[in-house]
Amino acid sequence: MNYFTNVWFNTSKLVDFGIEKGWNFKQAFVGYFIACLSVFISVPKLDFLGNAGFILYPIIALVFAVILSYIVPAVFFFIGKIWKGKRTFRDYRIIFGLSLIPEIINLIYKSFSYAILDDPEKENGILTLLITVISVRILTIGIAKTQKFSYDIALLNVLLPSIIFGLIYVSLYYI
């Protein structure tokens, strides 16, 4: 089953397939890499890299993707344990990686923005909101189906870590 096409429209079927047949973390890891690359393309503090940035961005993104693939799902995993979730940490890593696949749209937009407008920081609020909604949908369905939670509890399992990470981000950004 192809993760990249089914994650958009057949999320529930994809999660059922993953539970039944076993997950392939390699395909899910692509989501982490895409998300990190999308972020690093628009980081102005890396401008000093110049043209070397196009070689170094993927390497930096790969390193951060590996780190991200452990830290963020761990928080979701421990929050899921509050509601007696039964699935493994590995399942959370895969579900979270799948939820990051929609970042490919943002990556393409930022790449064109950088190439054509030479403005990698240019954000499109509507596009970002759309990607966030799609990602939260994928994550909520994935958590609900793997943990056998109701969608309410699964959404709460998504929102609590998001609030935690949001507070950390805001505190680091404004301090």
Tell me the pLDDT tens digit for each residue of 8-40. 888 888 888 877 777 777 878 888 999 888 887
Residues whose CB falls within 8 Å of the CB of residue 5, separated by 6 or more in sequence, listed in order:
none
pLDDT digits (tens, 9 = 90+) for 106-159: 888 887 877 777 665 566 778 888 998 998 998 898 888 888 888 998 898 889
How far is it, in rounded angstroms, from Cα 101 to Cα 82? 27
How far is it, in rounded angstroms, from Cα 11 to Cα 9? 6
**Is a pLDDT exceeding 70 seen at residue 45?**
no
Residues whose CB falls within 8 Å of the CB of residue 114, separated by 6 or more in sequence, listed in order:
41, 42, 120
